[in-house]
Amino acid sequence: MTIATALSATELAAVRADFPLLARTVRGGRPLVYLDSAATSQKPQVVLDAEVDFYEQRNAAVHRGAHQLAEEATEAFEDARAAVAGFVGADVGEIVWTSGATAAINLVSAAMLGSTLDAALGRGSDASRRFVLGPGDEIVVTEAEHHANLVPWQELSARTGATLRWLRVSDDGRLDLSDLDEVVNERTKVLAFAHVSNVTGAVAPVATLVAAARRVGALTVLDACQSVPHLPVDLHALDVDFAVFSGHKMLGPTGVGALYGRRELLEAMPPATTGGSMVEIVTMERTTFSPPPQRFEAGTQMVAQAVGMGVAAQWLGELGMQAVAAHEAELAAEMLKIADIPGVRVIGPSTVGVGPDGLPDRVAAVSFVVDGVHAHDVGQVLDDAGIAVRVGHHCAQPLHRRFGVAATARASASVYTTVEEIVAFREALTGVRAFFSVD
């Protein structure tokens, strides 16, 4: 591997010491081996402290009020936006706070629906016409999407008369690009895809997909939930039009996430949610809206969570995402050794390589099946050994159907995961088939 140096043992020990929850035991005193970070990550003390500090010292409504607390709360909120923007290679005005990644995708799809309705009534700006969809237009997703990046586009297609199409997934869990030029064509208006699959851990070929969308003038929407916590992500360099990610998967609080949009797109886009805090002039007849990002932040915001997410971004940035990626590439390689256990089959790429960008081509999220044992039963036996994995379809039913399985178990790591924990996981997994007397 040509990837940057991973974390040293000393650095990793210091990282783990920052996460209070990792010290607890489960199921009768067993050390916790938390391998469910793709569902939600644990939080470092600085994030917990930031939320408490906000409530103890700065709590006030933001962007209103002239008192000192309101100033300090607004500053903390906007500093957090700048921290998150810097962390993902965006300008500060290109980051919209949302309640999470799902809300962020729905914000974009709802704005497109709103533009379509506006156009039918002859209202809305000329610039907003690029978000208008109708019969004959196509929205493209992939078979690997989390439901959050599939269902909103299904609904948008159904409501506008547009057609939903998708790129398929190959047997190795990577996107099948053999029909890319046919699926992404002059009718394509939106190409939405995950940067990293939450099931297979595979990194998508972003440059190829963005180039295909650019050729036909389609907008790109990147689901970056599983990349931002694990890889260096530079949204300007990736050249996507929109991106979404959540706070709680990147060591931040729940209840907060972000939408990135290229500035001229956010400026052209109508609001999806209207109300207080996003307006300029309101009369009984009509309203003019604030410029972005406030245009998309109606109502009282989740300020403490946003502050926590900003601190999480800073914490990861100071550790260095190159080092995080290198550490997690080692973990992924350790995880993939489960394929040597009789009866265990990995769903997704079986090796960790280096992508064209010099970064790992998969992350340490490994889904698998155990022949003869249902994923729930696998998870239960691992849980008895203190090992927390996810079981089920991981909000990706079509991808599971594509591989002919109803459910998988998934082990997923984060920056605080150790090789020793992966070894413990492999050892516990080795005993599963014997427990259920499967030969």
Active site positions, annotated: 395
CB atoms within 10 A of CB 289: 17
Q: Is 400 in the site for another protein (CB under 8 A)?
A: yes
Q: Is 434 in the site for another protein (CB under 8 A)?
A: no
Q: Is 406 in the site for another protein (CB under 8 A)?
A: yes
Between 28 and 135, whose beta carbon lies closer to another protein? 28
Q: Is 433 in the site for another protein (CB under 8 A)?
A: no
Distance of alpha carbon 152 from alpha carbon 18, whole angstroms: 37
SS3 281: strand
Which part of the chain contacts another protein (CB under 8 A), choosing from 158-166, 281-289, 332-340, 379-387? 379-387
Between 104 and 391, whose beta carbon lies closer to another protein? 391
Between 47 and 375, whose beta carbon lies closer to another protein? 375
Q: Is 402 in the site for another protein (CB under 8 A)?
A: no
Q: How far is the CB of 257 from another protein (least distance, A)?
A: 22
Between 81 and 394, whose beta carbon lies closer to another protein? 394
Between 97 and 425, whose beta carbon lies closer to another protein? 425
What would the two tokens of residue 434 be? 């014997």
**First vs last Cα of the chain: how many Å apart?**
37
Q: How far is the CB of 401 from another protein (least distance, A)?
A: 10
Q: Is 384 in the site for another protein (CB under 8 A)?
A: yes
Q: Is 435 in the site for another protein (CB under 8 A)?
A: yes
- Out of 144, 391, 415, 424, the only residue in the binding site for another protein (CB under 8 A) is 391
The angle, 0 to 180 degrees and rounded to 10, between the axes of the packed helices 303-319 and 321-335 is 80
CB atoms within 10 A of CB 125: 12
- Out of 291, 376, 427, 434, the only residue in the binding site for another protein (CB under 8 A) is 376
- Out of 5, 27, 351, 423, the only residue in the binding site for another protein (CB under 8 A) is 27
How many Å separate Cα 225 from the centre of its chain? 1
What would the two tokens of residue 73 be? 């709360």
Write 45-50 long-range contacts (CB < 8 A, 24+): 45/18, 45/19, 45/20, 46/18, 46/311, 46/315, 47/251, 47/252, 47/253, 47/308, 47/311, 47/312, 47/315, 48/20, 48/308, 50/304, 50/307, 50/308, 50/310, 50/311
The β-bridge relationship of strands 219-223 and 242-246 is: parallel
Q: Is 436 in the site for another protein (CB under 8 A)?
A: yes
Q: How far is the CB of 256 from another protein (least distance, A)?
A: 24
SS3 424: helix
Interaction mask 300-329, another protein, x per CB under 8 A: ------------------------------
Q: Is 165 in the site for another protein (CB under 8 A)?
A: no
Which part of the chain contacts another protein (CB under 8 A), choosing from 88-96, 98-106, 257-265, 429-437? 429-437
**Of 370, 366, 378, nearest in space to 336 by CA:** 366
Distance of alpha carbon 235 from alpha carbon 233, whole angstroms: 6
Question: DSSP letters along 38-59, please?
Answer: TT-----HHHHHHHHHIIIII-
Between 362 and 400, whose beta carbon lies closer to another protein? 400
Q: Is 71 in the site for another protein (CB under 8 A)?
A: no
Q: Is 64 in the site for another protein (CB under 8 A)?
A: no
Binding residues for another protein, rule CB under 8 A, total 20
Q: Is 380 in the site for another protein (CB under 8 A)?
A: yes
Question: DSSP letters along 81-143, please?
Answer: HHHHHHHTT--GGGEEEESSHHHHHHHHHHHHHHHHHHHHTT-S-SGGGGG---TT-EEEEET
Between 207 and 405, whose beta carbon lies closer to another protein? 405
> Apex CA 140: angle with CA 87 and CA 325, to 5°?
30
Between 129 and 376, whose beta carbon lies closer to another protein? 376
Q: Is 374 in the site for another protein (CB under 8 A)?
A: yes
Task: Please report, as ranges, the residues that interact with another protein according to CB under 8 A.
Answer: 27-28, 373-377, 380-381, 384, 391-393, 397, 400, 406-407, 435-437
